[in-house]
Structure 1
Amino acid sequence: MTSPHPDPHSDTRADGAPTTSAYDHIIVGGGMVADAAARGIRERDQDASIAIISDDIDEPYTRPALSKKLWTDPEFTWDDVPLGTAEDTGATVLLRTRVTALRPEAHEIDTDAGGTFSYRTLLLAPGGRPVPLPVEGGGKSDRVVAFRTAEDYRHLRALAAHAERIAVVGGGYIGSELAAALVQQGVDTVLVHSTPTLGSDVFPADLAEHFAAMFREAGVELVGGREVVGGVAGDAGVRLDLEGGDTVVADAVVSGLGIEVRSELAEAAGIRTGDGIVVDARLRTDRPDVYAAGDAAEYPDRILGRRRVEHVDNAEQMGRQAGRNLAGAEEEYTHTPYYYSAVFGTRYEAVGTLDGSLETVEDWAEPRERGVVYYLDEDRVVGVLLWNVPDATDDARAVLAEEGTVDRAALIGRIPGGSR
């Protein structure tokens, strides 16, 4: 879709897609950050031209649905997934297009389609690429999916329709959600994860045991404590080689092993990077008029300190703030994001650091069914887990922001939904 406010210097690509040589604001990346940023721009400026340049094949969409509601909620269909970015904001969305070079001093970018675009402000929201499995032939096999995009969802959905057995690799929130989704579709599902007990890297031991039992009771085979070190994908299926010499065989495999941050464009342009693209409180990089947000941005959280967050709440809130700042707001990003997951009717939300090795204070209204877990490091609360406790993330943030040594006894009942 072409912006209703195009720059007068415009042309058309050889494949017929509209391009404009100059935009007020360019967003590199086509995820939920891009959608939120375009809307943030429009909060301050109804007339500026906006371009979203994405190497995805779909316009911005609600990513969490790919491993959650599309599998579990029959009322939620594919029509609910697109965010309507172009229609709602008037942004020009260029798909299947990769930015190959950024020249901050010239305020220009190049793309693999041969175009050069200039900008007044630029937002880098490249996200990341999924960590691949070390499986021979996996990069070319239709039976191996490194899960990240809407196209990956469609691919896995097609596999689930005819595969008898699918292996899921990765015990984090994406891997666990996919295993839950697949077994509820009637697929024989095996979940391979590297922790001794599923969830033991983030939950206290007793809660991790309960979490793992939810999967076993649903029919998921759990293979824990071993990483995938090799394997082969062939016409008949996939073999995964595990640490210690064991193997897992399945018709197909899907992995949720996290992402590799896509910071190479920023690095090549001389922009400072660390764990991600380094930004200040206003989401600015160290180059004029270049901002960054989302999975790839390392930012100073006002409560938790400098960090990089790969969750939807951060994408939406940081994207909106970045868009407002592109349009001149000059506002600090003060939101401390939360993340959530939902499996087998249980929803948990978390703010801060969840580490199963930390000291915890548990406050259960109903043991393992509804309660709050506080994570402590050096006598301070550094993380809060809300287990089936809705509408309490602001309370969790307030606990994390408190100064001084924590009174452990006072944590019991501190957040509504616990024991009181």
Structure 2
Amino acid sequence: MTDFRYLIVGGGMVADSAARGIRELDADGTIGIVSEDVDPPYARPALSKKLWTDPEFSWDEKVDLHTEETGATFLLGSRVTAIDRDAKTVTTDSGETHGYERLLIATGGKPRGLPGLEPSDRVLDYRSAADYRKLREFADAGAHVVVVGGGYIGTEITAGISQNGAEVTFVDPDDVVGGRMFPDDLARAFQQRFVDAGVDLRLGRRVSSGEETGDGVVLTLDDGSTVEADAVVVGLGIEPVTQLAADAGLTVRDGIVVSSTLRTDDESVFAAGDVAEYPDRILGTRRVEHVDNAQQQGRQAGRNLADADETYDHTPMFYSDVFDMGYEAVGQVSSSLHTVEDWTEPTVTGVVYYLDDDQVVKGVLLWNVWDKTDEARKVLADAHSLTPDMLIGRIQP
């Protein structure tokens, strides 16, 4: 058995930030990182963004997070199957046991799949660097790739590979690309960039079944039509990996329930990242699946593992870059809410506020507007004192 003062289950960006957070307070305590991934922690957003759009964006300098600088021990390609809270140990799928004084669960999420298809060299759930390397081979060969799902991963990957030689078919249940998030005028402008790029749009459609053949993949859509391609990228979101925590007797709802200091029911066990349900000081109880939260919450978890006992007070933002468009946002961005649009140039540069039925702002979208997320957070913090007419001009591009 190998013992660590600090043991982190999961090898993503949370693990890197947590290890660095630990080192801010404890220069010598041993750190172990157990990860199913075969690569040490890397900047996951680059897999669907910069690696496709910036030829100067190198893996070693920009993507690899160089977590080894913290002195952590990596246990890669290894899955934790059980936590024994009484013994303060974890067991892996290879039968190894590792002891801990403090444990951080950062297991992230498991991608949702398509009926009839299992992940393979042609069926990519696009969660790892290995998936990126496989997809890069297809794009470089000018292959036909089907992208399923119109969220962040789906739209970014469609834009990225269509600009890198791939023939792309895009399948999305929304009738307009981005329709679940953006006001109709903005969604239609967003969609037009995909049309201009030559993407074959199959909108208002879902995949009923799929089959992997010897040289490709065949998808059957819910209207009975079929799409044959060399590969498929599945971008249908994730389910938080909470079973490990639940089996250990920790409280789980939408995610692993943690306090404002990111501690679970067990004073020696913390959780952070995609998997953690935590109390946001502005927006209330939530679980966030974006990089800003992974970095900031991971760092705070690391500091608290090392006895800082500090509250996590950061309200995270999220962002996306698609073709020549980009946005940052804070809070809830959904076309099911009411909107107030404040454009400098319609659908090109501006701010969209999302309000509930009581006219309270729940989210702020900054479209091609940068470095204004602190102002967006202030709007959300002051939401109950703001009326819709007070929003116009409140955040200047």
TM-score (norm 2): 0.97
> Percent identity over the alignment?
57
C-alpha separation between the residues in 1 aligned to 2:158 and 2:112? 18
Contact between 1:141 and 1:233, CA under 8 Å: does it hold in 2? Answer: no
C-alpha separation between the residues in 2 aligned to 1:296 and 1:403? 28
Question: 2:245 maps to which residue?
Answer: 266
C-alpha separation between the residues in 2 aligned to 1:105 and 1:364? 57
TM-score (norm 1): 0.92
C-alpha separation between the residues in 1 aligned to 2:266 and 2:119? 39
Question: 2:309 maps to which residue?
Answer: 330
| 1:162 Cα offset (Å) | 2.2
Matches within 5 A, 1:400-419: 400-417=380-397
Question: 1:395 maps to which residue?
Answer: 375
Matched, 1:282 2:261: yes
Question: 2:171 maps to which residue?
Answer: 192
Matches within 5 A, 1:329-348: 329-348=308-327
Question: 1:35 maps to which residue?
Answer: 16
C-alpha separation between the residues in 1 aligned to 2:102 and 2:294? 19
Which letter does structure 2 place at the counterpart of 1:260? E
| 1:394 Cα offset (Å) | 0.3
Question: 2:361 maps to which residue?
Answer: 381
Question: 1:83 maps to which residue?
Answer: 65
Q: 1:140 to 1:51 in 2, by over 3 A?
A: closer
Matched, 1:292 2:274: no
Question: 2:147 maps to which residue?
Answer: 168
Contact between 2:119 and 2:125, CA under 8 Å: does it hold in 1? Answer: no
Contact between 1:379 and 1:405, CA under 8 Å: does it hold in 2? Answer: no
**Which of 66, 82, 97 is equivalent to 1:101?**
82
Contact between 2:141 and 2:165, CA under 8 Å: does it hold in 1? Answer: no
Question: 1:17 maps to which residue?
Answer: none
C-alpha separation between the residues in 2 aligned to 1:345 and 1:213? 12
* Stretch deviating more after TM superposition (105-114 or 391-400): 105-114
Question: 1:72 maps to which residue?
Answer: 53
Cα displacement string for residues 339-365 of structure 1 (whole angstroms, at most 9, x for unaligned residues): 000011211011000111211000011
| 1:113 Cα offset (Å) | 2.8
Matched, 1:215 2:194: yes
Matches within 5 A, 1:45-56: 45-56=26-37
Matched, 1:124 2:91: no
Contact between 2:18 and 2:302, CA under 8 Å: does it hold in 1? Answer: yes
Which letter does structure 2 place at the counterpart of 1:191? F
Question: 1:153 maps to which residue?
Answer: 132
Which letter does structure 2 place at the counterpart of 1:21? T
C-alpha separation between the residues in 1 aligned to 2:46 and 2:383? 37
CA RMSD across the alignment:
1.2
Cα displacement string for residues 171-191 of structure 1 (whole angstroms, at most 9, x for unaligned residues): 001000000011101211111
| 1:33 Cα offset (Å) | 0.1
C-alpha separation between the residues in 1 aligned to 2:28 and 2:349? 48
C-alpha separation between the residues in 2 aligned to 1:185 and 1:404? 46
| 1:405 Cα offset (Å) | 4.8
C-alpha separation between the residues in 2 aligned to 1:368 and 1:140? 37
Cα displacement string for residues 58-81 of structure 1 (whole angstroms, at most 9, x for unaligned residues): 000000000011111010022231
Question: 2:287 maps to which residue?
Answer: 308
Which letter does structure 1 place at the counterpart of 2:132? Y
Which letter does structure 2 place at the counterpart of 1:102? I
Secondary structure of 1:245's aligned partner = coil
Q: 1:76 to 1:403 in 2, by over 3 A?
A: closer
Contact between 2:140 and 2:165, CA under 8 Å: does it hold in 1? Answer: no
Which letter does structure 1 place at the counterpart of 2:198? G
Cα displacement string for residues 303-356 of structure 1 (whole angstroms, at most 9, x for unaligned residues): 111111100000000000000000000000000001000011211011000111
**Which of 314, 334, 337 is equivalent to 1:355?**
334
Secondary structure of 2:220's aligned partner = strand
Contact between 2:48 and 2:157, CA under 8 Å: does it hold in 1? Answer: yes
Matches within 5 A, 1:58-69: 58-69=39-50
| 1:142 Cα offset (Å) | 2.4
Secondary structure of 1:106's aligned partner = coil
Secondary structure of 1:396's aligned partner = helix
Secondary structure of 1:236's aligned partner = coil
Contact between 1:282 and 1:332, CA under 8 Å: does it hold in 2? Answer: yes
C-alpha separation between the residues in 2 aligned to 1:48 and 1:217? 54
Question: For structure 1, which runs of at least 5 residues remain unmatched after alignment?
Answer: 1-19
C-alpha separation between the residues in 1 aligned to 2:22 and 2:157? 34
Contact between 2:341 and 2:352, CA under 8 Å: does it hold in 1? Answer: yes
